[in-house]
Amino acid sequence: MDFEILGTAAVVRSEETVITDAQSALDLLMRAKYEAGTKKLAVDKKLICEAFFTLSTGVAGEILQKYVNYGGKLAIYGDFSHYTSKPLHDFIYESNQGSNFFFVPALEDAVQRLEKLP
């Protein structure tokens, strides 16, 4: 796993899942801070465990809370259209209204959203 810096954002590059729970998400944030000098992360949805997208597992909420507590910004990019869960769609919509957590279709959108943040 490594980072590609685009502007002030770190794009996570990996061949395997990098976020499996709140601790791995926090580890990723801290690694980005020290290795790439930023707390703004763009992550392909393929690098996040499927449990994240099932809100009843609590994984997404735990990760969001960690990122808010530690000042992290996370933009997840990819195709979310195959998810049929109304709670997940609501979560994505609400997250996109805030300034910490975003769901966007493409890497370029992720970087653009992160660049606008302080």
Q: What is the pLDDT of residues 107-118, one digit of tens each?
A: 999 999 999 998
Question: What are 68-104's pLDDT values in tens digits?
Answer: 999 999 999 999 999 999 999 999 999 999 999 999 9
Question: Rounded to whole angstroms, how far apart are CA atoms 27 and 47?
Answer: 14
Domain ranges of the chain: 2-115
Which pair of structure tokens corresponds to residue 78? 């990819």
Which listed CATH number (2.60.40, 3.10.450, 3.30.420, 3.30.750) goes with 2-115?
3.30.750
Average pLDDT over residues 61-66: 95
User: What is residue 72's DSSP assignment?
Assistant: -
Query: Which pLDDT score, from 0 to 100, does residue 32 have?
Result: 97
- For 6, counting Cβ atoms within 10 Å of its Cβ (0-12 exposed, 13-18 middle, 19+ buried), the class is middle
Average model confidence (pLDDT) for the chain?
96
Query: Which pLDDT score, from 0 to 100, does residue 30 have?
Result: 98
pTM, full prediction? 0.95
